[in-house]
Chains A and B, each alone.
Chain A
Amino acid sequence: MTDTALPQPESSNFQNEGLSETGTERVSYLRAGHSLSSWLLTTDHKRIAILYLIAVTFFFFIGGTAAALIRLDLLTPQGDLLTNEGYNRAFTIHGVIMVWFFLIPSIPNTFGNFLIPLMIGAKDLAFPKLNLASWYIFMAGGLFTLFVLIAGGVDTGWTFYTPLSSMFAHGSVVLAAVAVFIAGFSSILTGLNFIVTIHKLRCPGMTWRRLPLFVWSIYATSIILVLATPVLAITLVLIAAERLFGLGIFDPALGGDPLLYQHLFWFYSHPAVYIMVLPALGVASELVAAAARKPIFGYQFVAGSSIAIAIIGFLVWGHHMFVAGQSMYASAVFSFLSLAVAVPSGIKVYNWTATLYKGHISLDPPFLFAMSFIGLFTVGGLTGLILAMLAIDVHVHDTYFVVAHFHYIMVGGTVSAFFGALNYWWPKMIGRTYSLVWGRLSAILIFLGFNLTFFPQFLLGYLGMPRRYHVYPPEFQLLHVFSTVGAGLLGVAYVMPFAYLYYSMRYGTPAGFNPWGATGLEWTVPSPPPKHNFETIPVVDSLPYQYDVELEEDHG
């Protein structure tokens, strides 16, 4: 076993007729028990990570199917595939499933679970049983939500705006609220587990300044999870009580205020945007350093900017309400604070670019995903600034411009980072390498398909196409057709990684300890790691990302 084996030339992947179990695998966490109960009752963070990976992949394809329905329906202006009600249900399924059951848990619960103990030199998370309980709560919430959305049907959109949701909508709003409420518990418990783990279980020498940037970003995410999710919970309780008992908090007839709902909802849901994107920023930092084989430029700024985003993220919720009827002065303050978020986000993007300078840049699949992440996140972030400009937001608010903007962040950003992380850490998780050619191809196709899908939506938005429209004026059709064609490409491209990764499980060559030649404690253990991660608890004595300089290449 060498610990610096690079991936084999890709062609060899296909010549292997599937290897029998290697010695490393025989003692790995993957083989520590073969029964179903050894998986379903495990408290091993790595196995729970795999459980989450399977679950979020499942929800990703459910949400993706709803998206496919929406895009197909929008091929024609009159929407021939679905009824108005059916369309509204489809985008509600898409939003609810993607936000709460894919984007929020995707990177933290799979890669955070798998990597945090490995990265900080711990044997497990602080509360292993609680970790398993979180998964069960998540699954209960997720499957219940799915049942409610498909069997009962909810047509309020994922935002559940009152009084539409509380008094007018048909369908199972209360049950959907209960389901999301349950999932919220899972978020809180997971966030709590991560925070305690990062505080209390770092190995000797792993000081805060030596923490990998992924851990920093998960730490910032967890703070938001613990503090913002309960506000969503109480908001959902208020909605359910309003619907069941006529509580009246949001009902103007009782002297309540519908805008109060929006304030409470966005007080959670704007920070929730950062729950979804901060882990992706952490992944990007890891990937960029590994791609360039250089220390990340300005580690402290990059780490600090995660925390800054988490804090400022709590203060900008009102930018969702510029045209909702809040006071002009409130809008002006929220607009300003929203611009302030650009500072830490900009620092990250510029610092990643500077990290590439004079690096040894690899274009293997994870790094292609990382670079497309940077590009798409930049577009998403800057169009976010357009939305923060008050006079412009008045025009583009609630149009496809907003749809395009947040898909650049959520799909272009977070989903790209998710696939980058999957491609980067897959050899560690499974112990096998995969086809780099197929990996690069899928990274490029995802990038192209994504832009073809969502760039036309910026134009649609500025032209005045409102979001959540089932039928639309015929002059918008051509751009919608582009978007749908792009979505088809994107759908195919999203299936590819799962195909070649599955193939690698059976036929890939053994990965070795460190297939990418990266730094970090997770690469010092075998792939896949043994059940208890480290034979002896490691001791850290240097900063992260200390790559050796490859001198022979340095003279041009």
Chain B
Amino acid sequence: MNGSIHLWPEQASAYGSEVDHLVFAFTVLIVILSAPVFILIVVFAVKYRRGKPANRRHARNRNVWVEVSWSIIPFLALIGFYVWASDLFARLYHPPVDALEINVVAKQWMWKFEHPQGQGEINELHVPVGEPVKLTMASQDVIHSLFIPALRIKQDVVPGRYTGTWFTADKPGTYRLTCAEFCGADHSTMGGSFIVLSRADYAKWLAQSGTDMSLAAAGAALFRERGCSGCHGPAATVHAPSLAGLYGSPVPLQSGQVVIADDEYIRDSILLPQKQIAAGYPPIMPTFQNVLNEEDVLKLVAYIKSLRTTEATQ
């Protein structure tokens, strides 16, 4: 048995320490709110014990002002904390644009991580210190949840869509990484290590974890193998939208809406092509639902993303 009790979890990011500050401050508030209850119950139970003489005159049965004040004042204090907590939470939805993008695929019962240059790893996630990292996560089967306690972040990974989160780890070390959403028989074994490396070590690690090609290159290969290029390629005769420069741009839909072509949109266009039909194109794209797995789709998304940058450089 491990004799020592840790009373506070390790912390590996500035965001994590801000969450801790919030928890500390909020704990102080709830102690202030509840201490009167605990203390007064004991005091009253002693002082006004049945049969014991005490001054019991003028006990009131109601006092609306007192009651209103002890409903409103704590609530106002809570609203202050609500703003603080929500502001912190909202940050998780706004990753920096230059973040390192790592793909995560969860399946019963393992985590797969894919770095942009194509390095893949299982149940271990290596990241560089001090650099924002954005995770784009997909599930191959049931709902999982990526939980890195040292960063104080957690995000469910839901089949049928991408979810994401981001962080900047600022302390090198090895931390725990687990699945927090119950996902079947071996749920409790679905975890591993979250390893924060110095930039130099990270570069070394990338170099060691040799790989044939980057994610985008793998996606490009799939694009040809699976016949995507037959319609979407430059020489195609079929009337299909060109994908160059698509990522991040607005797409007018047949329904009159305009959506931004983000990861989710590209994923849906491959797997559920009828969901959002680009205006001016016939809805003839077949679904690739049973053909491609989530990892393949993520590679294709990476490839289509890369078309944006190549165009920009041209």
When the two chains form their complex, are residues A464 and B178 in contact, meaning their CB atoms are under 8 A apart? Answer: yes
Restricting to A450-485, which residues have a CB under 8 Å from any CB of B? 459, 462-464, 466-475, 477-479, 481
| Most chain A CB atoms below 10 A, which of B2, B152, B154, B179 | B154
Q: Binary interface profile of A, 316-334, with partner B (CB < 8 Å = 1, else 0)?
A: 0000001111001001100
B259 at the interface (CB under 8 A from A): no
Cβ-closest chain A residue relative to B182: A468
Q: Binary interface profile of A, 243-257, with partner B (CB < 8 Å = 1, else 0)?
A: 000000000110111
When the two chains form their complex, are residues B45 and A469 in contact, meaning their CB atoms are under 8 A apart? Answer: no
When the two chains form their complex, are residues B188 and A469 in contact, meaning their CB atoms are under 8 A apart? Answer: yes
When the two chains form their complex, are residues B48 and A357 in contact, meaning their CB atoms are under 8 A apart? Answer: yes
Of the listed stretches A127-135, A217-225, A298-306, chain B binds A298-306
A64 at the interface (CB under 8 A from B): no
When the two chains form their complex, are residues B93 and A168 in contact, meaning their CB atoms are under 8 A apart? Answer: no
A residues near B3, Cβ cutoff 8 Å: 478
B residues near A356, Cβ cutoff 8 Å: 40-41, 44-45, 48
Cβ-closest chain B residue relative to A288: B41
Beyond A325-B163, A474-B2, is A549–B153 a contact (Cβ under 8 Å)?
no
Q: Binary interface profile of B, 40-74, with partner A (CB < 8 Å = 1, else 0)?
A: 11001100111111111111111110110011101
Alpha-carbon distance A459/B23, docked complex (angstroms): 13
Alpha-carbon distance A360/B143, docked complex (angstroms): 55
When the two chains form their complex, are residues B149 and A553 in contact, meaning their CB atoms are under 8 A apart? Answer: no
When the two chains form their complex, are residues A389 and B81 in contact, meaning their CB atoms are under 8 A apart? Answer: yes
- Which of the residues B63, B153, B163 comes within 8 Å of A298, measured between beta carbons? B63
A121 at the interface (CB under 8 A from B): no
A297 at the interface (CB under 8 A from B): yes
Q: Binary interface profile of B, 89-103, with partner A (CB < 8 Å = 1, else 0)?
A: 110110000000000
Taking the nearest CB of chain B, how far is it from the CB of A155, in angstroms? Answer: 7
A residues near B26, Cβ cutoff 8 Å: 385-386, 389, 392
When the two chains form their complex, are residues B37 and A374 in contact, meaning their CB atoms are under 8 A apart? Answer: yes
Cβ-closest chain B residue relative to A551: B56
A379 at the interface (CB under 8 A from B): yes
Restricting to B81-132, which residues have a CB under 8 Å from any CB of A? 81-82, 84-86, 88-90, 92-93, 108
B213 at the interface (CB under 8 A from A): no
Cβ-closest chain A residue relative to B187: A468
Taking the nearest CB of chain A, how far is it from the CB of B200, in angstroms? Answer: 29
A residues near B52, Cβ cutoff 8 Å: 553
A14 at the interface (CB under 8 A from B): no
When the two chains form their complex, are residues B75 and A392 in contact, meaning their CB atoms are under 8 A apart? Answer: no
Of the listed stretches A335-343, A413-421, A522-530, chain B binds A335-343
A505 at the interface (CB under 8 A from B): no
Alpha-carbon distance A385/B67, docked complex (angstroms): 20
When the two chains form their complex, are residues A297 and B89 in contact, meaning their CB atoms are under 8 A apart? Answer: no
B233 at the interface (CB under 8 A from A): no
A residues near B158, Cβ cutoff 8 Å: 258-259, 324-325
B residues near A383, Cβ cutoff 8 Å: 30
B residues near A386, Cβ cutoff 8 Å: 23, 26-27, 30
When the two chains form their complex, are residues B55 and A359 in contact, meaning their CB atoms are under 8 A apart? Answer: no
Alpha-carbon distance A553/B34, docked complex (angstroms): 30
Alpha-carbon distance A284/B18, docked complex (angstroms): 38
B33 at the interface (CB under 8 A from A): yes
Of the listed stretches A20-28, A157-165, A439-447, chain B binds A157-165
Cβ-closest chain A residue relative to B164: A325
When the two chains form their complex, are residues A398 and B37 in contact, meaning their CB atoms are under 8 A apart? Answer: no
When the two chains form their complex, are residues B180 and A161 in contact, meaning their CB atoms are under 8 A apart? Answer: no
A495 at the interface (CB under 8 A from B): no
Alpha-carbon distance A489/B155, docked complex (angstroms): 37
A358 at the interface (CB under 8 A from B): yes
Cβ-closest chain A residue relative to B70: A350
Alpha-carbon distance A440/B3, docked complex (angstroms): 35
| Most chain A CB atoms below 10 A, which of B8, B50, B143 | B50
B residues near A470, Cβ cutoff 8 Å: 187-188
A residues near B185, Cβ cutoff 8 Å: 84-85, 88, 155
Alpha-carbon distance A322/B89, docked complex (angstroms): 10
When the two chains form their complex, are residues A549 and B56 in contact, meaning their CB atoms are under 8 A apart? Answer: yes
Beyond A298-B62, A356-B40, A395-B153, is A390–B34 a contact (Cβ under 8 Å)?
no
B159 at the interface (CB under 8 A from A): yes
When the two chains form their complex, are residues B55 and A554 in contact, meaning their CB atoms are under 8 A apart? Answer: yes
B residues near A299, Cβ cutoff 8 Å: 61-62
Cβ-closest chain A residue relative to B66: A354
When the two chains form their complex, are residues A361 and B85 in contact, meaning their CB atoms are under 8 A apart? Answer: no
A residues near B108, Cβ cutoff 8 Å: 168
Cβ-closest chain A residue relative to B189: A471
A residues near B183, Cβ cutoff 8 Å: 164
A391 at the interface (CB under 8 A from B): yes
- Which of the residues B66, B82, B90 comes within 8 Å of A339, measured between beta carbons? B82
- Which of the residues A255, A394, A469 comes within 8 Å of B187, measured between beta carbons? A469
Beyond A299-B62, A464-B176, is A255–B152 a contact (Cβ under 8 Å)?
no
B22 at the interface (CB under 8 A from A): yes
Known: A253-B289, A296-B61, A332-B90. 16 other contacts (CB 8 A): A84-B186, A161-B143, A328-B89, A343-B74, A350-B36, A353-B40, A356-B41, A358-B55, A374-B41, A391-B18, A391-B84, A391-B152, A394-B154, A462-B23, A466-B178, A478-B3
* B residues apposed to A, CB below 8 Å: 1-9, 18-19, 22-23, 26-27, 30, 33-34, 36-38, 40-41, 44-45, 48-64, 66-67, 70-72, 74-75, 78-79, 81-82, 84-86, 88-90, 92-93, 108, 141-143, 145, 147, 149-150, 152-156, 158-161, 163, 176, 178-189, 272, 275, 289
**17 A-B residue pairings within 8 Å (CB atoms):** A163-B143, A252-B161, A297-B62, A298-B62, A324-B158, A325-B155, A325-B158, A346-B33, A349-B37, A350-B36, A360-B51, A463-B8, A471-B188, A478-B2, A554-B53, A554-B55, A555-B53
* A residues apposed to B, CB below 8 Å: 84-85, 88, 155-157, 159, 161, 163-164, 167-169, 252-253, 255-259, 292-301, 322-325, 328, 331-332, 335-336, 339-340, 342-344, 346-347, 349-351, 353-354, 356-363, 371, 374-375, 378-379, 382-383, 385-386, 389-392, 394-395, 397-399, 459, 462-464, 466-475, 477-479, 481, 549, 553-556
